A = this chain, B = another copy of it.
């Protein structure tokens, strides 16, 4: 087994998958993409990344419409699909699972790894969260506006060698990639922001500044964040209360912007309600933590999304 990662297959050609896959390709790896609606566009013209760090074009090694069509076995499968009930990742990945293949999941929310880990316990699973502002603006068209840091950890633990290999693969990209020794904790930390700003922005049709300006919704943000903290801490993660003020302060320092969930909503794309609200609510119930804010947001979002249909 060759320890070096040379071939990568990206599943999910949205902003995140295209950007990280694109940077790995630019750094010299052989990067292929699984594309559905974008297949013909990407196959004929590649992926154009407009980035504040410099625009570039990605020409994939292979473009496939189904995982079965991939030629060979990739060293790394970079999974950056949205976390949606209708996506059966386990079945999607089945044709790729083989010795030497590693999985890297770059997704939002919590408990996104469990299903894959249960289905393929012998396949190294690395779990990552991306701190990035990147959007898909059209088929094969990506706009990278902000940051790009990754935090990567093993799920649930172990896979030390494989983690090193993945970190090494990202090194020539020049991107900031941090090893998280407790990826579960990192996910909960990021969830503090996501569970508050994303749903409130959609239900209130408001950008970050509009949310922070109204005293009631500012208080609401804190109420939501407190509930996320309480669930995390009921699981022994020891998150500090100070993270609440910190998340608010950091957001306030940025120019006003629309959350990714609001952008998805406005574009009539599906929303990641389960990984951001549904999973935390389920864990809260297991621990007996009361989460009325989260439950209210979840119920309203589900109604609101139905009204779009």
Contact = CB atoms under 8 A, between A and B. Distances in A.
Interface of A: 200, 203-206, 210-211, 214, 216-217, 219-220, 223, 292-293, 295-300, 302-304, 306-307
A304 B302 CA distance: 16
A266 to B, nearest CB: 12
Contact of A211 (B200, B219, B292, B303): B303
A303 B223 contact: no
A230 B76 CA distance: 55
Nearest to A301: B204
B210 A300 contact: no
B300 A204 contact: yes
Most chain B beta carbons < 10 A, residue from A205, A211, A216, A296: A296
Contact of A292 (B203, B217, B293, B304): B293
A220 B294 CA distance: 11
A220 B296 contact: yes
B223 A300 contact: no
A269 B200 CA distance: 22
A219 B291 CA distance: 13
A250 to B, nearest CB: 20
A206 B306 contact: yes
A17 B20 CA distance: 62
Contact of A304 (B205, B219, B298): B205
A205 B299 contact: no
17 contacts: A200-B300, A203-B300, A204-B307, A205-B303, A206-B307, A214-B299, A214-B306, A216-B299, A219-B299, A220-B295, A220-B299, A223-B292, A223-B295, A223-B296, A292-B292, A296-B296, A296-B297
Contacts of A205: 303-304, 307
A214 to B, nearest CB: 6
Contact of A210 (B211, B295, B303): B303
A150 B96 CA distance: 69
Contacts of A220: 295-296, 299-300
B206 A203 contact: no
Contact of A293 (B219, B296, B298): B296
